[in-house]
Structures are given as C-alpha cells and as structure tokens.
Chains A and B, each alone.
Chain A
Amino acid sequence: MSATIALLGQPNSGKSTVFNALTGLKQHVGNWPGKTVEKKEGSFVRDGKEYAVADLPGSYSLTANSDEEVITCEYIASGKADVVCILADSSQLERSLYMMADYAGIKVPSFLVLNMADVAADQGKKIDTKVLEEKLGIPVISLSATDNKKYDAFFEAMNRAISNKSMINIAGLEAELQKVDAYAKIRALLPEEGVKSYSPTWLGVKAIENDKLVMEQLKSVLSVAEEKQVEEIRCTSKGALDTGNSKFAWIDELLDGALSEQKEKIGVSKLDKIYLSPFWGKPAVVLTILLGLIGSFIPALPLMGVGSAIDMLKAPVGSALASAGVSDVLIALICNVVIQSFSYIFKMLGFVFGVLLVFGLLEEVGVMARISYVFDNTMAKLGLQGKSVMPFLISFGCTMGGAAGTRVIDNYGQKVLTIALAWAVPCGAAWAVIPMLSSLFFGPGAVAVVVAILLTMIVHMWITAKIFGRKLVKKEDRYGMIMELPPYHKPKWGALFRYVLGRTKDTFFRVSKVVLLVCVLFWALSYSFTPGVDPILCKIGKVIEPVTKIFGLNWQLFMAFVASSVGKEGALGVISALFTDGSVYGAFNDAMSGAATAENLNDILLANVSKPQALAFIFAITFNMPCVVALASTYQEIASAKWTAKIALYYTLGALVLAMIAYHIGLLIW
C-alpha cells in the first residue's frame, strides 16, 4: 500500500460519490468499532501503485458532539491517513468551506476538492482555484464527482499533497482568532508543538468551543492550575460564537478574489410585496382567510346537495314504511332520527371538505407560511409564536387536527395555551351550523353574524390568552423566529385530494357515531311513548327553563346547547327532535302521518324561536367546547386532566356568558 486517503466532508458533499468512483467494486462496508456508524473502506490502483481509501462519516464539524465527529477526529489523529481529501460544495462555498476551516490546524497533509463544479457553473459562479491554492498552501481543484472521466486533476492534486506533505496555511485564521481575547490567552498557555497531530491553534479553538475530547487531551500537557485557568478564560468568552465568527471571517477572506458570482438580487414576488409589507400584510392576510372561508362553500356544495337530497327521502320512506305496516315508533326513529341525522352529517361534511381543501391548498401553494409569518408578532403578544397559527387555521376544519398540530410546539405552557385558544376557533361543524341558522333567521344579515362571530373569536382568544397565559407562559419563553418562506408553487393536487378525502372520510365515521348517538338519545328522551304524557326531557327542560332563560335560551335550545358539547353537528338534530311540533308530544306521530312534509325544520324554528334567542343560541354553540373527541385529543396531547377540565369548564361557562350578551344585544336590536 503506497498511501491511505481519508475523505472528509459534510453530509451531501459528495463523499460517497467520490469514494465509489475511486474504488469501484473494491470496497468493504462495515461498522466503526463499538459504534453503529457505517465504515466504508476500499482501495484502487493508479500508475501501478495501490492506494487505500477511507470514507469518514459525514458530519457538520470536527467538534466532538456526535459519534460521527468523534470517529472522524480519532481517525485523523491516529495518523492512519497519509492525506485527507477535504470536500466542499462549490455551489455554496461560503458555508461548505466550514469543514476545511474546522480542519485547519490539524497537521495531516490535505488537499481541497471543490465538488459540484457543474452546479456552481450553472449558477454562474466562477471559482479561481489557483488563488485559493496560493492562499491556503494546499492543492485545490474543482470537480464534478458524478463525472467519472474527470478524475485526472484529482489524482494529480492527491499526489502533490502526499509528496509535498502540504498543510493548510493558517496564518490568516490565526490572525482572525487573535482578535478574540479569550483565544489569545488560552493559546499562550498551550505548548507550541501541540498534541499529537493537533496544532496549538486547533486545540485553542476547540478549548474555546469546550470540546470534551480536546479538554481530556489537554490534561496530559497542562498542569492542574493551567487547566483551571483555561476553564476560567473560556467562561469569559462566547464560546462557539467567537470561534465561528473567526472561521467565517477567514473563509470570506479566502473567497475574496477567488469567487466571482452574479450579484444576488433579493427578488421579492409581487404577492410577497403585499403579504410581507408592514402596513398591508395584516389586512391582506385577514382578507385571504375570509375569502378562503367563503370560498370553501363552493367545494362544499356537492356534499351539501347530497345532504338535502337525503332529507327529501324522509317523506317517501315514511309513507312506504307506513304502508308496509311498520310500527309508528320505528318509522319515527328511521325518518326523524336516522335519515335526518345523515342529512346533517353530509351537509356538515361538505363544509369540512371545503375548509380542508381551501386551507390545504393555501398550505400547498405557500400562502399559509406567509400567514403564520404575518401573525407571528400578534402571536407573540398572546405569548405564543408564529407556528401556533398553524393549529389555529387547522382548527377551522377540525379542532382535533388543531390539537394534533401543536406537536410542533415544544414549550409545554405554549402548547397548552395554543390548544386552549384553538378551541375558540369555530370548527367545520360549527361552520356548517352557523351559516345555516343565520341565514334562516337573519337572511342577508347572516353575513353580519359571521363577521360578528369572527370578531368575537378574536376577542375571545385575546381574553383567554390573558387568563390562561399568565400561568402558562413566562416572558423569557418568548423568542423570535426565523422563517425561510417557501417559494410559491403549483399545488400537488393528488396528494392534496388524498389528504382532504382521507380526513373527510375519517370525520364522517367519527361524526356519524356521535350524531346518531346524540340524536337517538335525545329523541328517546323526548318521544312520548304514551300519548298525553310529557316526555322526560320535556319535564326536566321545563323545570330548568327559568335559569336557561337568563342566557336567552329556552329549554329546547338549552338541551341542544348541551348536546353541542358532544358534537356541534348534533345540535341541529336535537333541535329538530325537540321542536318537531310546537307541542312536543305527538310530534312524531304527526310527522309520520303524511304531515311529514310540512314538518319543515325551518318553519318550525321560525315559529318557535325569536331572533334574539337565535342569536344567543348561535353564539352559545359556536363558542361551546368543540366536541367530546376534541376534548379527548386535548387530554391526550397535554396529558393533564386538570388543564383539560379547566379549559372545558371555561368554555362551557364562557359560551353561556356570550349567549347572554348576544341575547341582550339582540333584544336591543329587535
């Protein structure tokens, strides 16, 4: 074996590509002793001489933070390699030369390979390797590792490095480092000959970075007092920040005159000029969300149509069953509970589908990222971060998804607070019920109701943040974010539809169970099996009505409110069960006896509920807890029964208070 070459580079610098090109089939893959890190060794013959190649594990730096880095350092220090080939990415030299800068000061011959030359050329970057070679004092070449025919320069540089024992000239780096006070002091304490293959410069840098392996090795050359001194000096420095600054400054110095590129123009797209403008950003984002919500009605229409079609089945199915001699109770159950429920479920699914599609689309094209960017500062005022916007927006579709979305938040307090606030965002089920009820009672005024709800939502979140935030989020927890916004791009429709349809299907099964259960239960409690006797629910309702009236809810509406805690979509079903006819008992009997078609829920509601009551009810169910499933997933996510209960209680009471306020405002208007 005439020489051993070690390949050193950051992940994706092209080490494996070079390794394969050099060794072809002559390679052996195993593990580094005692580690799970892959070890690749091989050999090749060139001009009659055999060379061994070792592919060192890819790592960001040579600081002993990970197994990869420890292995790399130990291998180089062991002296097994005759020459180290340092790889950097030509297309991003500013960052990828970091490995070279971190290696500088190790006394093992090396040469520098600027890989991805083809990519850099495509970007219009010109690199003068001669200039770099002069400054660095080691062979430097450009390479396209994927092009197997172009390795001549590689071998030439390799041989030059081996025969000249070329080491990196670190005068420039040393000069930068000397500007750091702590470094200069530590460097003065270190022996001039260094330790093993490490120069005092390299050891000094790693001492500042508090590298465990290096501190261990220094013990052999420093007295206990000196060691303590090093420790003390290090504590006065900014550690890795200081050395990092020096290394980057040195890299810039090296590249000055060696790299020419077209001046980068920080291009901002037209859309971003609006979204990212300090003045127009917020209005633009709010408008986008509003348009999104409105727009989600369009994809919702087909499913809503299906819902209405199912509703129309009631009469024919009812009379068919009647003529087949099926019992009245069963007919009532099938028509007023089962068919009715599925009608609601489909109408609601329409909206869930619409919201998911529209917000999914906004995410896909990159608008969602802008939304969270614009809201980051607002979130900070609530004690949260921009990334909390995501759970909030998902909550427009389903609170459960919102709760799951808080997984990106590590801080426990912020996570709990985010979920607590996400509950205030009306979910898909609420959006299915609100517009339906609002347009029924208020006609075109429904738009005003929706706007009022959105405004209330904002105030609600604000107050909730103040109440819960005090305990959950400390001021120190509030840090800034860097966001690299993705470029706008065309959506991947396939993936988007798979997600939206999958989610809609899930919601369908989950919701069907809840709705059917709630509807059957309430129907059974409100059905008068013996004519002339008030059903149980009616009795209870009438007893508590004086209290519920305070909140602007008569007992039927109050029952529907209670049911909405289980699932908002169930609320309408309950109303229809309770209001089927002004007088409760006998309602279902009427319903099936041909009068069924007249049993239009709309007419019944208009006849029995006043506008202020309707307003109170809409606010009550909108801001009630989202549903039992959301409750369960909240518990799962925050793993605290105490906080879950607190949040649930807070929302139930809050909803009633809001209902009361809405009712009294309603009384003033009408």
Chain B
Amino acid sequence: MDDLLRLLKDGHARTIPMLAKELHTSTADVSRKIEYLVNMGLIRKVDFGPKKCGSCGGGCSSENGQKTCKSCMPEGGFQNMGQMWEVVG
C-alpha cells in the first residue's frame, strides 16, 4: 500500500488499471486498497455532487435542507466524470 500511496503523491493522474499494471497486481487489489486508504483518511474521494451550492447567482433552490443547483450543474451533479481520489494534504 506504501507503493500505491507513493505513486499517488507524484503528481500524475492514473486510472485503476494503470495502477494495477504498475504495481503488478489486479484491479480488484488496487480498488480495495483505495477503499482502505479512504477509510483510514489518507486519501479522499472528490465529490462532483450537487451539494454545497453557495455561489451561483440565483437559480439555487433549497430542497429538504440540501442546496441543489439545478442551473449550474445537471441534476444530481456531474455523474459521468468517473470517480476521482486525491491524497489528503
């Protein structure tokens, strides 16, 4: 897992299959380690969701306490950006 974390810190973007190849392991192994690192608070998942809208000029509505921003982003936020994780600084 140290290898994985080291790769993450080098400033390059990689996909999970690429990481698996570089670390000579399977994608399932990389995925579970990413999940582990997230839970240990060492890396963080990037949230592209519609929450936390505080900045679009108008067009924002508060629905059941959660601010959504229909006009800045598609419904449910950008859902097709894949998943991204970053190292917690």
Interface residue ranges, A against B (CB under 8 Å): 60-61, 65, 92, 94-95, 98, 238, 240-241, 244-245, 248, 252, 264, 266, 268, 276, 360, 363-366, 368-369, 372-373, 376-377, 380, 385-387, 390, 400-401, 403-405, 407-408, 411, 476-486, 489, 495-496, 498-499, 502-503, 505-506, 510, 629, 632-633, 636-637
**Given A404-B55, A633-B55: A386 and B73 within 8 A (CB)?**
no
**Given A241-B1, A366-B82, A633-B55: A480 and B71 within 8 A (CB)?**
no
| 4 pairs of A and B residues whose beta carbons are closest in the complex | A376-B13, A95-B32, A499-B74, A479-B87
On chain A, the residues within 8 Å of B9 by CB distance are 479-480
The answer to whether A480 touches B15 (Cβ under 8 A) is: no
Q: Which of B13, B21, B26, B32 contacts A483 (CB 8 A)?
A: B13
Known contacts A372-B81, A499-B70, A510-B57, then 14 further A-B pairs from the complex at CB < 8 Å, ordered by chain A residue: A65-B41, A92-B32, A241-B42, A248-B36, A266-B21, A373-B15, A404-B56, A477-B89, A478-B11, A480-B7, A480-B11, A481-B85, A484-B15, A498-B75
List 13 A-B residue pairs with CB atoms under 8 Å apart, sorted by A's residue number. A241-B42, A248-B29, A364-B74, A372-B81, A377-B11, A390-B81, A404-B69, A481-B84, A481-B85, A484-B82, A495-B75, A503-B72, A632-B57
On chain A, the residues within 8 Å of B89 by CB distance are 411, 476-477, 479
Contacts between the two chains (Cβ within 8 Å), count: 193
**Given A408-B48, A495-B74: A486 and B81 within 8 A (CB)?**
yes
**Given A276-B15, A485-B15: A479 and B74 within 8 A (CB)?**
no
The answer to whether A264 touches B26 (Cβ under 8 A) is: yes
On chain B, the residues within 8 Å of A401 by CB distance are 56, 72-73
Q: For the complex, would chain B's binding face be called helix, strand, loop or mixed by DSSP majority?
A: loop
**Given A60-B39, A245-B1, A377-B13: A482 and B54 within 8 A (CB)?**
no
Give A377 to B56 CA distance when docked, in angstroms: 29
The answer to whether B59 touches A506 (Cβ under 8 A) is: yes
CB closest chain-B residue, reference A381:
B11
Give A238 to B2 CA distance when docked, in angstroms: 9
> By CB atoms of chain A within 10 A, which of B12, B16, B47, B74 has the most?
B74
CB closest chain-B residue, reference A266:
B17
**Given A98-B36, A401-B72, A499-B73: A390 and B78 within 8 A (CB)?**
yes
Interface residue ranges, B against A (CB under 8 Å): 1-2, 5, 7-17, 19-21, 26-29, 31-36, 39-43, 46-48, 52-59, 69-76, 78, 80-87, 89
The answer to whether B78 touches A387 (Cβ under 8 A) is: no
The answer to whether A483 touches B82 (Cβ under 8 A) is: yes
CB closest chain-A residue, reference B87:
A479
The answer to whether A404 touches B84 (Cβ under 8 A) is: no
Nearest-neighbour CB distance to chain A for B84, whole angstroms, equals: 5
Nearest-neighbour CB distance to chain B for A534, whole angstroms, equals: 37
Nearest-neighbour CB distance to chain A for B14, whole angstroms, equals: 6
Give A268 to B40 CA distance when docked, in angstroms: 31
CB closest chain-A residue, reference B7:
A480
On chain B, the residues within 8 Å of A65 by CB distance are 39, 41
The answer to whether B12 touches A264 (Cβ under 8 A) is: no
On chain A, the residues within 8 Å of B52 by CB distance are 407
**Given A94-B29, A480-B8: A404 and B72 within 8 A (CB)?**
yes
The answer to whether A510 touches B81 (Cβ under 8 A) is: no
Q: Which of A61, A94, A376, A386 contacts B28 (CB 8 A)?
A: A94
